Amino acid sequence: MPQTIYIDPVTRIEGHAKVTIHLDDAGEVENAHFHVTQVRGFEKFVEGRPFEEMPSLMARICGICPVSHLIASAKACDALLAVQIPRTAANLRRIMNLAQIAQSHALSFFYLSSPDLLLGMDAEVGKRNLFGVAENQPQLARDGVRLRQIGQQIIELLGGKRIHPAWVVPGGVNEPLAPEKREMMLAMMPEGIMLAERTITWFKPILEQYAEEISAFSAYKTLFMGTVTPNSRLEMYDGNWRIVGKNLEVVADNLNPAKYESFITEAVEPYTYLKTPYYKPLGYPEGTYRVGPLARLNIVSSCGTPRADDKLEFFRSLDFQSSFHYHYARLIEILYCFEMINQLLHDPEIMSDHVRAYAEPNSREGVGASEAPRGTLLHHYEIDQDGLITRANLIIATGHNNQAMDRGVYEVARRFVHGAQLSEGMLNRVEALVRAFDPCLSCSTHAVGQMPLQIQLVAPDGGIVDEIKR
Amino acid sequence: MTMNQLTPELAAPISEAQQVVFLDARMGDPPGVVLSEVVEETALPAGAFTHQVTPAALLAAARQLYGAAPAALLISISGASFEYATELSPVLQARLPQITDQVSTIIELFFQQQENSPSAAGASRLSYGSTKEC
């Protein structure tokens, strides 16, 4: 009987990871870990580059959420210039960010997680993918494809292309919004809102089928962190951070992202290339927090758009500690994104041609933070007198969730994996925990190092017994 | 349409097209070899990786989701180098005019055959291009 089970690779996530589950002699789960097995090195190889290149370089971290990095990077560069960008530029960036979040959430929910949610965690492996969903419920698959398309089309209309658009620049954006593009985006909003609401309506009763998983995904409790407006509403582009505790009590508020080093630091674990940020005053691992859709909706009083706020009411009745409810939170955020884009496009000032502030570098250090699909994202740059990068530090959304994923994997494995009778469904539930976070592992691994891929069967005494690959 | 990778949302525009040509790089042959094959619509794939959607899977998805899938051709050109770069390798840069001509000819023949005999698409798998080095 194997004493360590490997799930390698974890499927239907962005990036590369594996899970090891260590069994005791009785075949019960003794421990489990989530290992991020890829290395990117962006923080190191940008050293020496002109800071103006950073948004374009940093967008290449990821092909799914490049806009998130574009925006955080551009904001860090705004700080190096020490400029306040025009309000129109901020709102245009905001629209692109919201579109990015909507399309990324659509990918996560429909392409990666809906196979489990629709077909069941124990469904045949070969069917547990988007194409299996398409066979079973074509309308659901079409809705997911269309939601993703709408988000991507908005990004393309604004930035000229869907992936790695070059339109967001230090000081603002490259060009103002053309009237015909505004009309095209507005025309898509009713459909986007309708599809988001239809999906929420479909998904709500599905939750009843997953009571056990919801409970297991709630076993590891954490703080939550995210950006809020001054009146405690959802905010994706700019603002101070709030941290709430395990019972949603406010632990810290009005935290300035530019001062992040005073209240956040990172731990390094030997079994993964992904660093683990935590809230310094509470130490590690007590200061572990989650970010992303579940966290954002937990820390705010309201979304600030009517339909999303209507759905928030049901969300408040759910177990707020269960990572399973990232899915429902993600759908509410898709709805919020389209409602907010609609609002912003109706602001007359969105058509202003004043969209960029120009300056030379006026600061040697700049921090830019925003909300990415997976949570709070931060870029921190230092430059020399010639404007060349001397240091870059990125705290990636997925990184904030590292400890929660790692311990969550353990808790779920403990509940569902029993060595005497292994099943695909058991292991899929462990994967589903990771998938609920929608991790973007290509973004989050940026430390320089080696990249071994080890698949080992490890006995309780630490000896290597065998190699197994799933 | 230029894409970094094939994704499921391409099924929608594909379903509305009369023909679709996929153009991609390929490894394994001397640089500049142009190959083409008709893409057969298959059953929806059993793979779990949505990152690795194939042309055949897209055709199947187009049929499954939108009720239509066009005739499709895959043209691949063997590359010289797949290292990080901002331009084509010198060897392919030098051969670009011939490669472009050959690809254009292949596409023209494909469209002509579709006009003349749409049902023959599945039988004429190797009738365009060949292992012809540019």
Tens of pLDDT, residues A441-460: 654 443 322 222 344 445 56
B-chain residues near A63 (CB < 8 A): 4-5
The answer to whether A146 contacts chain B (CB < 8 Å) is: yes
Q: Is A145 in the B-facing interface, judged by CB distances under 8 Å?
A: yes
What pLDDT shows up at residue A446?
39
Give the pTM.
Answer: 0.86
The pLDDT mean for chain A works out to 88
Q: 3-state DSSP call for residue A290?
A: strand
Q: Report the alpha-carbon distance of residue A30 to residue A23 in Å, rounded.
A: 5
Q: Do B12 and A148 touch (CB under 8 A)?
A: no
Q: C-alpha angle with apex A16: A13 to A18, nearest 5 degrees?
A: 95
B8 CB neighbours in chain A (<8 A) are 111, 130, 141, 145
In A111-239, DSSP assigns E strands to: 168-169, 172-173, 223-228
**Candidate from B49, B57, B64 with C-beta closest to A11:** B49
Q: Is A60 on the interface with B (CB under 8 A)?
A: no
Cβ within 8 Å of B, A 205-264:
none
Distance from CA of B15 to the nearest CA of A (A): 12
Which DSSP letter does residue A77 get?
H
- Which residues of B make CB contacts under 8 Å with A? 4-5, 8-9, 11-12, 44-50, 57, 60-61, 64-66
Give the residue on B whose Cα is nearest the Cα of A127. B46
| Residue of higher predicted confidence among B117 and A356 | A356
Is A131 close to B66, i.e. CB distance below 8 A? no
Percent of chain A with pLDDT over 70: 88
Is A131–B65 a contact, with Cβ atoms under 8 angstroms apart?
A: no
The pLDDT > 90 percentage for chain A reads 64
Residue of chain A nearest B8, judged by CA positions: A145
pLDDT surpasses 90 at A239 = yes
- Taking the CB of residue A230, how many other CB atoms lie within 10 A of it? 9
Nearest CA in chain B to A103: B9
Does A149 sit within 8 Å of B5, measured CB to CB? no
pLDDT tens track for A180-191 = 999 999 999 999
Q: Which residues contact A195 (CB under 8 A, 6 or more apart)?
A: A143, A146, A147, A150
Answer whether A128 touches B (CB < 8 Å): yes
CA nearest B49 in A: which residue?
A: A12
User: Mutation test of the interface with chain B: which of A12, A119, A131, A153, choosing the one with the most B Cβ atoms within 10 A?
Assistant: A131
Q: Which of A39-43, A222-226, A417-421, B19-23 has the highest mean pLDDT?
A: A222-226
- Bridge-partner residues for A266, per DSSP? A277
Query: Residue A419: pLDDT band by 50, 70, 90 thresholds?
Result: low
B130: closest CA of chain A, how far (Å): 33
Q: Residue A44, Cα to own-chain centre: how many angstroms? A: 23
User: Measured between beta carbons, which residues in chain A are less than 8 angstroms from residue B9?
Assistant: 145, 148-149, 152
pLDDT confidence tier of residue A130, bands split at 50, 70 and 90:
confident
SS3 of chain B: helix, strand, coil, percent, to 5 = 40, 20, 40
**Shortest CB distance from A129 goes to which of B9, B47, B64?**
B47
How far is residue A222's CA from residue A287's CA, in Å, rounded to a whole number?
8
* pLDDT for B129 beyond 50: no
On chain A, the residues whose CB falls within 8 A of the CB of B49 are: 11-12, 129
| ipTM for the whole complex | 0.72
Residue of chain B whose Cα is closest to the Cα of A428? B48
Place of tokens 């398409």: A134
Residue A305 vs residue B3, higher pLDDT: A305
Residue A123 CA to residue A79 CA, distance in Å, equals: 50
Q: Mark yes or no for CB contact B61/A131 under 8 Å.
A: yes
Cα nearest neighbour of A148 on chain B: B9
pLDDT for A89 equals 98
Q: What is the DSSP letter of A356?
A: B
Question: Least CB-CB distance to A12: which of B50, B57, B60?
Answer: B50
Helix (H) or strand (E) segment spanning residue B74 = strand B71-78
In sequence order, which ranges of A163-322 are alpha helices (DSSP H)?
179-206, 211-216, 293-299, 306-315
Residues from chain A that touch B50, judged by Cβ atoms under 8 A, are 12, 111-112, 129-130
Model confidence at A366, pLDDT cuts 50, 70, 90, reads very high
pLDDT number for residue A221: 95
Q: How far, in Å, CA of A56 to CA of A60, rounded?
A: 7
Asked if omega into A285 is within 30° of 0 (cis), the reply is: yes
Min Cα distance A142 → chain B (Å) is 6
